[in-house]
Amino acid sequence: MIKLYAADAGNPLFANDPARERAVLAALSGTGMVPPLVQAGTFEGRQWLSYAHINGQPWRQAPGHVAQVLGRLHDCAPPAGLPPGVNGSLALEAQVAGILRQCRDGHWLADLRPLGRVPPVPQPVLIHGDPVPGNLLAHDGTLTLIDWQCPQIGDPAEDLALFLSPAMQLTYRGAPLSRSEEDAFLQAYPDPRIVGRYLALRPWYHWRMAAYCQWRMEQGSGADRQALALECAALQSISPRAA
């Protein structure tokens, strides 16, 4: 499999960094969580990377298995050079403000800011940064994470939030997770402290994803209108500010 990286278009949430992907594929080689790195280089000014093909399918069922894989990942030693992730509600608020500054019509989302404060996690870890169904390949009874363009040293609750995001599930699987699927995922994640942290930060993550969907919609992605509605509905169901 050969990946030719596009020029970074300034995505406000998901980076496109080939150096990070090379570093993680090398660091996690042999764990089964990443595809085997073959080679990397430059072609006509654009970077490329090749890794061994995995004969699998994008994830569709058994959310508990995903939680277990993410738990293993969050225990792995990270390679050097990864940037810090967005950590705590103040940092999430600043990130949302940055996304909304890039939107023409997203000012109404500022009024949905959740209440309260959640401090940064004291010990950030290696996170994937984009563990959506399309980046989880099911094969031979296991799961492999692909598309490592935006790993960080961050809050493990962020990976949980991205996987559970109604918008991301709609985009890659066609429908949000059911309540029972969400519960199965959270029950299977090995560290209940991180699950509790995710639950505390959940309104902030829904708010951020709503802002991202607004940005995507303004870039011409009509499919993100429904994704935006799902994230706002999820936010309104748990956040007093959004009620």
CA distance 215 to 212: 5
Are 158 and 86 in contact by the 8 Å Cβ rule? The answer is yes
Are 33 and 42 in contact by the 8 Å Cβ rule? The answer is no
pLDDT for 241 equals 54
Kindly write down the DSSP assignment for every residue of 11-49, as one continuous string.
Answer: -SSS---HHHHHHHHHHTTTSSSSPPEEEEEEETTEEEE
- Residue 58 sits in a domain of what CATH number? 3.90.1200.10
Mean pLDDT of all residues in the chain?
94
H or E element in which residue 207 lies: helix 192-218
CA distance 52 to 216: 31
Judge whether residue 37 has pLDDT over 70: yes
Express each pLDDT in 42-99 by its tens digit: 988 899 999 998 999 999 999 999 999 999 999 999 999 999 999 999 999 999 999 9
Full domain range(s) for residue 43 = 2-242
- If one compares 54 and 124, the residue with the highest pLDDT of the two is 124
Instruction: Find the mean pLDDT for residues 120-136.
Output: 97
Express each pLDDT in 193-218 by its tens digit: 999 999 999 999 999 999 999 999 99
Judge whether residue 138 has pLDDT over 50: yes
Instruction: Find the mean pLDDT for residues 101-121.
Output: 95
Residues 6+ apart with CB under 8 A from 76: 27, 28, 31, 33, 126
The percent of residues above 90 in pLDDT, for the chain, comes to 89
CA distance 185 to 95: 26
CA distance 167 to 210: 8
CA quadruple 29, 46, 136, 127: dihedral positive or negative? positive
Number of domains comprising the chain = 1
The percent of residues above 70 in pLDDT, for the chain, comes to 98
The whole-model pTM stands at 0.96
Judge whether residue 221 has pLDDT over 90: no
CA distance 28 to 159: 17
pLDDT for 242 equals 43
Three-state DSSP class for 85? coil
